[in-house]
Amino acid sequence: MKEGVLVMAYGAPRSLDVEEIRAYYTHIRRGRPPAEEDLEELVMRYRRIGGSPFMTHTTRQVQRLREMLEARVPGVRVYSAMKHVRPFIPDVARKIVEDGVERVVAVVLAPHESRMIIDAYLDYVRDIFAEAGVDVVPVRTWHLNEGYLSALERRIRDMRGRFEGEPFVLFTAHSLPERILEWKDPYPVRLRETAEALAARAGITKWRVAYQSAGKTPFPWLGPDILEVLEELAAAGEREVLVVPIGFVSDHLEVLWDIDIEAREKAEELGIHLERTPSLNDDPAFLQGLAEEIQRRLLAGSGVSDRM
């Protein structure tokens, strides 16, 4: 059986070209162009961080995974696809079909399971693969993967030396619309499980989970927001905070702007010394762990059911 791996990610503009950012923003909005003031705000943020390095990091991550998997599973083909920029997920799915792949392990570069994250990506390939008879094995969550946890633990331990005392640790992830709670979505539980595992491994006694990067919509998003939590911590007398963005695996806007600029400026206003753990990017331990996660599905054979 010819097997493949489809690695999917959100995507980001590759340059500071305004029209490229406009096209990206429009795609996120499902074809509805953004208001000019909203576009200007987004362009300003990208300029402040010097442009998004997301695609560079993601390309490296996929290349390392490809090298690891090809060495372990002869003949496997590894593909990468983006949700909001080229190469788009449906186009890559059609390429997989053209290549004659009969079974695909699909993984999103997001550790925590949620219908709004994982299933939203799988929706792009569902009909294409079903029509072609391609067996799909999704990696629905890898939030307790050993390589992922060990890479984060090492970063937490390394950052402790930047503080005078024991910092309060904020484990953060991208907020999602609050309505997911009505579905009994596993996202908040998975986040807490990662945080609990890291707290136990690194001996952290002061910590909590916070959300960030909520969308500007009329409906509510999951909280508490990191900026609100910083205010609460300041009021409680905390003066040192370490942010560990467990929901993100590479540097991009949500890390470089939302934490490094927005949250840091808020912390300075409150008299808090805030630091952030470095992003995972192409960390060898992290990618080794993810490769093993994918390999387990590959070796399970075609008997694994399609859980899409």
Mean pLDDT to the nearest integer, 41-54: 98
Summarised one tens digit per residue, pLDDT across range 222-239 is 999 999 999 999 999 999
Contact 252, 52 (CB under 8 A): yes
Instruction: Name the amino acid, one letter, at 30.
Output: R
Assess whether pLDDT exceeds 70 at residue 7.
yes
List pLDDT tens digits, range 243-283.
Answer: 999 999 999 999 999 999 999 999 999 999 999 999 999 99
Q: What is the mean pLDDT of residues 47-58?
A: 98
The mean pLDDT value for 284-290 works out to 98
**Residue-level pLDDT at 216:** 86
User: What percent of the chain stands above pLDDT 70?
Assistant: 97
Which residues are CB-neighbours of 131 under 8 A, at least 6 positions away?
A: none
pLDDT band with cut points at 50, 70 and 90 for residue 307: very low
Q: What is the mean pLDDT of residues 56-69?
A: 98
Per-residue confidence (pLDDT) for residue 72, from 0 to 100 = 94
Residue 301 banded pLDDT, cuts 50, 70, 90: low
As a whole number of angstroms, the distance between CA 118 and CA 62 comes to 18
Residue 300: predicted pLDDT: 84
Statement: residue 304 has pLDDT above 80: no
Side-chain half-sphere of 80: how many Cα atoms within 13 Å? 18
Give all domains of the chain, ordered by start, each with its CATH number: 3-143+283-299 (3.40.50.1400), 146-276 (3.40.50.1400)
In whole angstroms, give the CA distance from residue 131 to residue 291.
Answer: 28
pLDDT mean across residues, the chain: 96
Task: Give mean pLDDT, residues 126-148.
Answer: 98
pLDDT at 305: 37
Residues 168-189: what's their mean pLDDT? 98
302: tokens are: 């075609």
* High-pLDDT (> 90) share of the chain, %: 96
The residues, any chain, with a CB within 8 Å of residue 302's CB and separated by 6 or more, are 1, 102, 103, 135
Average pLDDT over residues 45-71: 98
Reported confidence tier of residue 135, pLDDT bands at 50, 70, 90: very high
